[in-house]
Chains A and B, each alone.
Chain A
Amino acid sequence: MAGALRGLSDRTIAWLFIGPTMLILLVINIFPLIWTIKLSFTNYRANRPNAAVSDVGIDNYVSVLTDPDIWLAMQATAHFLFWTIALQMVIGFTLAWLIDRKFRGHGFWTTLILIPMMLSPAVVGNFWAFLYQPQVGLFNYAVAWLSGVPPSSFEMLGSVTLAPWAIIIVDTWMWTPYVMLICLAGLRSIPDYIYEAAEVDRASRWRQFWSITLPMVLPFIMLAVLFRGIENFKMFDMVNLLTSGGPGSATELASITLKREAFEKWRTGYSSAFAIILFVAMFGMANIYVKALNYVKSR
């Protein structure tokens, strides 16, 4: 094979090497995206192959943006995003900072901590519903044991106020290790001589932390925020299995609404418009964020 390609120029190789990737992305990402855009201007329904399809202009976009239920879903998503990111950053960074002490056996404990992020969110979400069960679930008993309230007196998945926290807890349990890893990478990227220099300047440990550690790890933390933000904006599997959006619509995140519209109500045109709006929102926010990240990095 290599022999037959001996005479290939670098230019040809470049295109041969990039070709398959671009082809797959074009066929399975870009083409569908364009199709989604096209569908979003029609009243097409995938479960009515025989029905007439007509152009409806921007009607779908208008009705998505004026639908109060959609805005409730966006609010639920924002709440979920904010708290999962905040908790994961604080706990993840703390853990990384502790692990960076390089105590004996830190490799073992780090591996152990990583396990939750390897698991399938769907399979795990399903099992957490069992842990949250108010009568037989372990979670309620653990809380009861720690706080003294009767175990069956609260329902993590059944109460409108607690359910949004129930999904935040599971997501934090799963993904804090990921944030920890990125922060650890950041901490290890700080050269020792900077601390040594600070020591010579008699900067206190506390001051070193605020003026060296944190600023130097900040780009990494921001990167973790970006990754987790993108992932949780799309969150579907874990929450769908844990609460399926309930009680009422308390945990109905954007992706769950989208799935209902697209594959249960089969309003293909409408849900395509919603999908495009979500994509544009995420893309826009990520772009602004990346600019901010580059600014922080360049300082």
Chain B
Amino acid sequence: MTTGISTAHSVVEPTPASRWVAGILVAIYALITMIPLAWIILTSIKSPPDSISYPPKIVFEPTAEGYCNLFTTRSRQTPEYIAALPPPAGKCDRVARDNNMVVAGSSNYIPRFVNSLIIAFGSTILSVGFGVMAAYAFSRFKVPLKDDLLFFILSTRMMPPIAVAIPIYLMYRELGLSDTRVGMILLYTAVNISLAVWLLKGFIDEIPREYEEAAMVDGYTRLQAFCKVVLPQATTGIVATAIFCLIFAWNEYAFAVLLTSGDAQTAPPFIPIIIGEGGQDWPAVAAGTTLFLVPILVFTVLLRRHLLRGITFGAVRK
């Protein structure tokens, strides 16, 4: 094989025409996959009858009913009963009255959402924190049985959640950790930590040892070198890992449905069981889904470069 020679224009550059075709195809795919998502958002501003109209309505009058129904519970009353009530207190009250209902109280959506926030962020901080420490140790020190330990860490990821759920359920029952935020944070940390160690080890391996060694020659201790040299260098990796951990913890369902029932219940087991008078109140479900997607969408957009690099590094390393 001949060695590479310089050419006037690179042969690996795609032609403008092929770029156009590629761009159009990718855009078409992206638009098609966005349809379900767009439908969720549209449904959230439909009225319940519009949401289940036949055939599906694309043009409709937007309403806040879905969001109102998401945040309140209501009971149906006779028009006479409603007429005797004082005037409606807010917008949602008015919407309910229009449907011969009265607002009975607030729903559990906000507490569930707050649980999701606390549990997802709490477990992400823990798994990334512990993960970066372990990853550093595996990357820099002679650890006995290093490969075995690393493989062991990875293999914990292969267990079906339902398989370890049985003893975890029993254990939590004995320790009183069922339906507590602490219990869920610890659990999600355990699930995420294997991924965190593997991803972060990849990133830290990339950072030349000479940096720390130079710092240590300058009088830094190992720990100072870790905090002041390695951690800043690994920011991209830490952010990417955090996103992956956060996505998992934010979206997790199987453990949440088994181990939480009220006080610590997160949003994923809650949203599918938002019902109206009959079956699922689709606008309210869609509203709950939409709001639940917002944080993760914001993260994705803000941190997309880290994400792309993150998965690249992780993939190459493994």
Contacts and interface: CB of A to CB of B under 8 A. Distances in A.
Direct contact of A and B (CB under 8 A): yes
Contact of A189 (B33, B56, B222, B316): B316
Given A121-B253, A181-B311, A275-B166, A200 B5 contact: yes
Given A115-B34, A123-B292, A196-B11, A223 B223 contact: no
Nearest to A181: B311
B85 to A, nearest CB: 34
Interface string B280-301: 1010011001001100110111
A121 to B, nearest CB: 7
Contact of A126 (B164, B227, B258, B272): B272
Interface in A6-28: 6, 8, 10-11, 13-18, 20-22, 24-25, 27-28
A11 to B, nearest CB: 7
A130 B18 contact: no
B158 interface: yes
B312 A185 contact: yes
A120 B137 contact: no
A141 B224 CA distance: 62
A80 interface: no
Interface stretch (A66-74, A99-107, A153-161): A99-107
A35 B26 contact: no
A30 to B, nearest CB: 8
B193 A255 contact: no
- The dominant DSSP class at the B interface is helix
Contacts of B190: 24-25, 27-29
**Residue of B27, B138, B171 ringed by the most chain A CB atoms within 10 A:** B27
Contacts of B300: 111, 114-115, 118
Contacts of A114: 300, 304, 307
A110 B143 CA distance: 40
A116 B170 contact: no
Contact of B30 (A20, A112, A128): A112
A223 B134 contact: no
A233 B296 contact: no
Contacts of B39: 131, 138
Contacts of B54: 135-136
Contacts of A192: 10, 12
B258 to A, nearest CB: 6
A123 B11 CA distance: 46
Interface in A72-108: 91, 95, 98-99, 101-107
- Most chain B CB within a 10 A radius of its CB, from A28, A234, A279: A28
Interface string B174-211: 00000000000011011001100100000000000000
Given A32-B171, A193-B4, A196-B10, A259 B34 contact: no
Contacts of B8: none
Nearest to B312: A185
B262 interface: no
B70 interface: no
Nearest to B224: A2
A119 B296 contact: yes
B271 interface: yes
A21 B134 contact: yes
Contacts of B51: 136
Q: Which 5 A-B pairs have the closest CB atoms?
A: A275-B163, A122-B253, A103-B23, A120-B251, A28-B190
Given A111-B300, A234-B162, 11 more contacts: A14-B137, A103-B26, A107-B304, A110-B308, A112-B34, A121-B251, A123-B251, A123-B272, A124-B289, A196-B12, A254-B160
29 contacts: A14-B143, A18-B134, A21-B133, A24-B130, A25-B190, A28-B189, A29-B159, A35-B170, A36-B163, A102-B14, A105-B23, A118-B247, A118-B296, A122-B251, A130-B280, A130-B285, A173-B36, A182-B315, A188-B312, A192-B10, A192-B12, A196-B11, A197-B3, A236-B161, A255-B161, A258-B163, A268-B166, A271-B166, A275-B163
Interface of A: 2, 5-6, 8, 10-11, 13-18, 20-22, 24-25, 27-33, 35-36, 39, 46, 91, 95, 98-99, 101-107, 109-116, 118-124, 126-128, 130-131, 135-138, 141-142, 151, 173, 181-182, 184-186, 188-189, 192-193, 195-197, 199-201, 220, 223, 230, 233-234, 236-237, 241, 254-255, 258-259, 262-263, 268, 271-272, 275-276, 278-279, 282-283, 286
